């Protein structure tokens, strides 16, 4: 049986997804009241915006942030540049 993690403030039971983060010692927040989850003897890593790719669970905030979206767009643009470079190289090799 998986261990259940419960918010000390509102007794909200954290879902499996968040329990996994808690197990990996990542700071999570209660989806009901926003209280940071704490466990005695465990120092959680702060999941901040400085760590890209890590999901921060806060109440009433879902989906990607604008910052994430723009970095994704940048990545796609870079990918397009790269594929153009590869195409050009293929053309050169054919000569
Ligand atoms: Zn709570």
Q: Which DSSP string corresponds to 4-65? A: P-B-TTT-PBPPHHHHHHHHTTB--B-TTT-PBP-BTTB-PBP--TTSTT-----TT--S--
Do 26 and 55 fall into the same domain? yes
How many domains are there within the chain?
Answer: 2
**Same domain for 51 and 85:** no
CA of 12 to the centre of ligand 1 (A): 5
**3-state secondary structure (DSSP) of residue 88:** helix
Neighbours of 47 (CB within 10 A): 16
- Residue 13: the pLDDT is 96
In angstroms, what is the span from residue 56 Cα to ligand 1's centroid?
15
What pLDDT score was predicted for residue 52?
52
Are residues 56 and 72 both part of a single domain? no
Residues 49 and 75 in one domain: no
Q: Are residues 6 and 51 in the same domain?
A: yes
Ligand 1 centre and the CA of 62: distance in Å?
A: 17
Rounded Cα distance, 50 and 68, in Å = 11
Query: Which domain range does residue 10 map to?
Result: 1-62
Same-domain check for residues 17 and 50: yes
Summarised one tens digit per residue, pLDDT across range 16-30 is 999 999 999 999 999
């Amino acid at each position: 049986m998986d261990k259940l993690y419960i918010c000390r403030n509102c007794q909200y039971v954290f879902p499996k997804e968040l329990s996994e983060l808690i197990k990996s010692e990542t700071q999570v927040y209660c989806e009901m009241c926003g209280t940071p989850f704490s466990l005695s003897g465990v120092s959680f890593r702060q999941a901040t915006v400085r760590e890209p790719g890590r999901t921060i669970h806060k109440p009433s905030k879902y989906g990607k942030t604008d910052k994430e979206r723009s970095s994704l767009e940048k990545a796609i643009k870079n990918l397009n540049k790269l594929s153009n470079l590869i195409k050009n190289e293929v053309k050169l090799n054919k000569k």
